Amino acid sequence: MTPEPPRRLGRGLDALLARKEPAKTTAPVGAATATPAPAPAPPVEEPNAAGSLRTLKLSEIRANPYQPRKEFRPEELADLESSLRINGLLQPITVRPAPTGSGYELIAGERRFRAASRLGWTEIPALVKPVDDRMLATLAMIENLQRADLDPIEEADGYQRLIDDFSLTNQEVADVVGKDRSTVANALRLRQLPASVRRMLQDKQLTAGHARALIPLGTERAIVDLAREVSANGLSVREVERRVQAGRPKPPAAGKKATPGAAPAVPAGASGAVVRQIEEKLRRKLQTGVSISLSAKDKGEVRIAFFSNDDLERLLEVLGVSLD
């Protein structure tokens, strides 16, 4: 399967946090020991809102309620535990004071926090920074996107939560995480898939390209059946697109009126082959269902499927159509 393209982010986590590097110490905290070194000198308060570096009890820290990542692979935590045991903590976690007034909530560094907990640490260096809920959710998304930690469904769910909890548009989500709006819209389309197919995508039995190609099939049974065939037989995205097109409703017989929603007629022979080739190229370009019907020698129509207002906006953007 073709690797996903490199992820592009705008401002980045460090820029959003406006973080300064903490002063160097003689040895990293926790180096060569299963518990942290004694607490450093009292924290220096940062008047420029960069936050303050403190040593906090792990028992005072709670997980980020907006953490989009749902699964932390044991092998990743084992590798990090080994690093912490040998080298100590090279970069503090980042937290905010909890809105309840008691304790702290993670902003960034949940893997480091979990690994330290598993090692039996009781304290950990942390950069404390006051941020609101919207910034907390945004920073959690950015940290995971920077490290490519999220699977496609976690990424899509994270975008949807930003939309639902903070009434953001697709464009506003794209702006805060440094993505193109079409990238956000394409990710959100994956949430239309049946639960079993979303699970296959999370388990890496399908790529996001395969999953998007399945959406135009429409019915859950058809999507699940073809997804299983993709996983079992290693079908390419192009082959999935061909199967999806072949599985759509057949065109009406000559002289009969087309049924609404049915695929338009395509002439047989060489002309039909050319039309199918054009349809396939348009589907790959627009990432949705496309069909072409020729009603006369030089006349016909192109039909493009969309599945929500946001999906229509995405298509208009790809086509270079502005509503301004």
Contact 111, 80 (CB under 8 A): yes
Q: Which one from 4, 75, 105, 110 is the annotated catalytic residue?
A: 110
Show the 3-state SS of the chain.
CCCCCCCCCCCCHHHHHCCCCCCCCCCCECCCCCCCCCCCCCCCCCCCCCCEEEEEEHHHEECCCCCCCCCCCHHHHHHHHHHHHHHCECCCEEEEECCCCCCEEEEECHHHHHHHHHCCCCEEEEEECCCCHHHHHHHHHHHHHHCCCCCHHHHHHHHHHHHHHHCCCHHHHHHHHCCCHHHHHHHHHHHHCCHHHHHHHHCCCCCHHHHHHHHHHCCHHHHHHHHHHHHHHCCCHHHHHHHHHHCCCCCCCCCCCCCCCCCCCCCCHHHHHHHHHHHHHHHHHHCCCEEEEEEECCEEEEEECCCCHHHHHHHHHHCCCCCC
Is 106 domain-assigned?
A: yes
Q: In which residue ranges of the chain is pLDDT below 50?
A: 1-28, 31-49, 249-256, 258-270
What is the per-residue pLDDT for 179?
84
Evaluate whether residue 54 is within a structural domain. yes
Overall pTM surpassing 0.85 (yes/no): no
Task: Calculate the alpha carbon distances from 87 to 109, 176, 292 in Å.
Answer: 17, 34, 62
pLDDT at position 250, please? 46
pLDDT at 265: 44
Report yes or no on 209 lying in a domain: no
- Asked which of 146, 165, 189 is the last residue of a domain, the reply is 146
Residue positions counted in the chain: 324
Which of 146, 165, 188 marks a domain boundary? Answer: 146
C-alpha–C-alpha distance, residues 308 and 150, integer Å: 24
Q: Which pLDDT value is given to residue 251?
A: 45
Contact, 34 vs 97, CB < 8 A? no
Residue 170 lies in a domain: no
| Paired tokens of 33 | 């020991």
Range of the domain at 307: 255-324
* Count of structural domains within the chain: 2
Residue 237 located in a structural domain: no
Q: Is residue 185 part of a domain?
A: no
* pLDDT at residue number 54: 92
Beta-ladder partners of 127: 53, 94
Specify the CATH number for the domain of residue 21: 3.90.1530.10
In a domain, 194, yes or no: no
Please indicate, yes or no, if residue 291 is contained in any of the structural domains: yes
Could you tell me if 18 and 139 lie in one domain?
Answer: yes
Q: Quick one: pLDDT at residue 79?
A: 85
| Residue at a domain's end among 146, 171, 203 | 146
Token pair of 79, please? 């590798």
pLDDT recorded at residue 27: 42
Same domain, 259 and 142: no
Residue 172 annotated among the catalytic residues of the structure: no
In angstroms, the Cα distances linking 265 to 241, 249, 276, 286 are 18, 11, 11, 21
